[in-house]
């Protein structure tokens, strides 16, 4: 597969693949101002988890272009920019996770000059991007035994290389299974209203040479009843401490249908997506997006004028409908609380150990 990077850093510029234009056109946009980066996250030029990278590199832009002479002044600029970037999208926790991690790094007592902070910010943004690749690859390997040798799989939204820095989570599992010689056939939920499945996941699967058919989101019940489906794999935007999972709208319906048919539904969740500070799904804010995502398909309006619209971008799947949650630290089965906590703590300890080892 030709490697299209969702986002790259070149000489104080962030270059992003404009995902709104795929699969028709491959175009990149360069950003030098963090406010434009926040706008790009909101408009979904970049989406899924690369928004993390965009946010982290957004702070690197601030540091790199700042004229501040004092450490405190630069730190204030970074905090203000982090608030703007954070406000761009609310449900996905990785955004906040990356920004907090970046700010914690810049506040380290050993950084005593503006230049040192500048370098530390960029180093941390690169570290987050690298870690993302490593983490997802491990997660994909951990999930591999859950995929039968001949597997028919339903996948929702886009969770592949476009949704991460490289490889991805749920789509990464499918890719890994294919690379390990398993015969996989994927039903790709189109994922209304923005068609991340039809536009992005199908595009990635085509390049990977993995057999797939795009389906409307509501076809999953029919296919489970008539064609046979072995498993559903989905990503996530935030997992609560009890395992309730926020993911792209439609995931809950898919999980319920899977539950009714005895089909396992697996959530792929890097530990950075597990938010132990929220006890359950009710405490997760659900982003509401603009009505025209529903009233229009492309340039065509499909509803009467002035129709009322409700457009939640995500939903919560209660933990009881999730068969297992797979992270880079292993597999969690219900009840989730203790195992998720343990995996998050182990991941943090491993990260801290690595940081101290690299000085
Ligand atoms: O609104 P999007 O396209 O940014 O959706 C977020 C997601 O990518 C999905 O919910 C995905 O399943 C989470 S895994 C990156």
Q: What is the pLDDT of residues 338-355, one digit of tens each?
A: 999 999 999 999 988 887
Cis peptide before 23 (omega within 30 of 0): yes
Q: Looking at the DSSP assignment, which residues form a beta bridge with residue 332?
A: 325
Residue with tokens 């539950």: 259
Q: Whose CA is nearest to atom 12 of ligand 1?
A: 235
What's the chain's average pLDDT? Answer: 94
Residue with more model confidence, 330 or 54:
330
Stretch among 83-92, 135-144, 219-228 having the lowest mean pLDDT: 83-92
3-state secondary structure of 182: coil
Q: Looking at the DSSP assignment, which residues form a beta bridge with residue 188?
A: 155, 214
- Ligand 1 pocket test: pick from 237, 239, 290, 325 the residue with the most ligand atoms within 8 Å of its Cβ: 237
Q: Whose CA is nearest to atom 5 of ligand 1?
A: 48
Average pLDDT for residues 256-283, to the nearest whole number? 97
Residue 109's pLDDT is: 85
pLDDT 10s digits, 75-121: 999 999 999 999 999 888 888 889 999 999 988 888 889 999 999 99
Ligand 1 centroid to residue 62 C-alpha, Å: 26
DSSP character string of 261-324: HT--EEEE--GGGEETTS-SGGGS---B--THHHHEETTEE-S-TT-----BSEEEE-GGG-SE
Residue with tokens 């950075």: 272
How many Å apart are CA 263 and CA 276, to the nearest integer? 28
Ligand 1 centroid to residue 47 C-alpha, Å: 7
List active site positions: 237
Q: Do the bridges between strand 183-189 and strand 212-215 make them parallel or antiparallel, or are there none, so unpaired?
A: parallel
Ligand 1 centroid to residue 143 C-alpha, Å: 19
Whether pLDDT at 3 is above 80: no
How many Å apart are CA 240 and CA 222, to the nearest integer? 30
3-state secondary structure of 208: helix
pLDDT 10s digits, 168-203: 899 999 999 999 999 999 999 999 999 999 999 999
Residue with tokens 């795929």: 22
Q: Whose CA is nearest to atom 10 of ligand 1?
A: 248
Report the atom number in ligand 1 closest to the C-alpha of 169: 14
Ligand 1 centroid to residue 19 C-alpha, Å: 12
Q: Whose CA is nearest to atom 15 of ligand 1?
A: 48
Torsions phi, psi of 316, nearest 5?
A: -110, 125
Residue 57's pLDDT is: 93
DSSP character string of 105-132: HHT-TT--SHHHHHHHHHHHHHHHHHHH
Q: How many CA atoms lie within 13 A of 29 on its CB side?
A: 18
Q: Whose CA is nearest to atom 2 of ligand 1?
A: 48
Its pTM stands at 0.95
Residue with tokens 């509501």: 218
CB 157 within 8 A of CB 247: yes
Neighbours of 113 (CB within 10 A): 12
Whether pLDDT at 129 is above 90: no
- Ligand 1 pocket test: pick from 55, 157, 203, 269 the residue with the most ligand atoms within 8 Å of its Cβ: 157
How many Å apart are CA 87 and CA 294, to the nearest integer? 23
The structure tokens listed for 11 are 């000489």
How many Å apart are CA 308 and CA 228, to the nearest integer? 37
The structure tokens listed for 138 are 């491990």
Residue with tokens 């530990």: 271
Residue 50's pLDDT is: 58
How many Å apart are CA 2 and CA 208, to the nearest integer? 9
95: Cβ contacts below 8 Å, ≥ 6 apart: 41, 51, 52, 55, 85, 86, 88, 89
Q: Write out residues with Cβ below 6 Å of ligand 1.
A: 47-49, 157-159, 163, 169, 196, 234-237, 247-248, 313
Residue 32's pLDDT is: 95
3-state secondary structure of 248: strand
Residue 1's pLDDT is: 53
Ligand 1 centroid to residue 351 C-alpha, Å: 25
Q: For residue 179, give Cα distances in angstroms to 15, 145, 175, 305, 355.
A: 29, 13, 6, 48, 32
Give me Rg for the CA atoms of the chain. Answer: 20
Residue 331's pLDDT is: 98
Q: For residue 110, give Cα distances in angstroms to 45, 103, 114, 116.
A: 36, 14, 12, 9
């Amino acid at each position: 597969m030709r490697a299209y990077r969702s986002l790259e850093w070149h000489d104080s510029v962030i270059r992003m693949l404009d995902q709104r234009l795929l699969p028709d056109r491959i175009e990149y946009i360069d950003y030098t101002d963090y406010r434009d980066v926040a706008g790009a996250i909101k408009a979904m030029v970049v989406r899924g988890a690369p928004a993390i990278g965009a946010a982290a590199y957004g702070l690197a832009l601030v540091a790199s272009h700042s004229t501040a002479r004092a450490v405190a002044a630069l730190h204030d600029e970074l905090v203000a920019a982090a608030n703007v970037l954070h406000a761009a999208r609310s449900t996905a926790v990785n955004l906040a996770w990356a920004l907090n991690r970046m700010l914690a790094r810049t506040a380290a007592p050993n950084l005593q000059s503006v230049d040192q902070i500048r370098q530390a910010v960029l180093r941390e943004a690169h570290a987050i991007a690298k870690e993302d690749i490593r983490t997802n690859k491990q997660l994909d390997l951990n999930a591999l035994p859950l995929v039968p040798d001949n597997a028919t799989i339903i996948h929702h939204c886009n969770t592949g290389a476009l949704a991460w820095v490289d490889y991805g989570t749920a789509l990464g599992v499918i890719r890994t299974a294919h690379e390990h010689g398993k015969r996989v056939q994927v039903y790709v939920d189109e994922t209304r209203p923005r068609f991340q499945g039809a536009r992005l996941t199908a595009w990635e699967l085509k390049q990977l040479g993995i057999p797939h058919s795009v389906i409307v989101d509501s076809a999953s019940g029919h296919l489970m009843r008539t064609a046979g489906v072995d498993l559903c794999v989905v990503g996530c935007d935030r997992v609560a401490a009890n395992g309730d999972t926020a993911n792209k709208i439609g995931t809950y319906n898919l999980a319920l249908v899977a539950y009714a048919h005895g089909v396992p539904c697996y959530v792929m969740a890097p530990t950075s997506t597990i938010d132990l500070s929220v006890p359950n799904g009710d405490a997760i804010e659900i982003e509401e997006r603009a009505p025209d995502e529903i009233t229009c398909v492309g340039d065509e309006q499909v509803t009467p004028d002035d129709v009322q619209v409700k457009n939640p971008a995500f939903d919560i799947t209660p933990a009881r409908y999730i068969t297992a949650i797979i992270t880079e630290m292993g597999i969690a089965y219900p009840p989730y609380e203790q195992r998720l906590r343990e995996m998050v703590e182990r991941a943090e300890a491993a990260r801290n150990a690595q940081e101290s080892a690299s000085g």
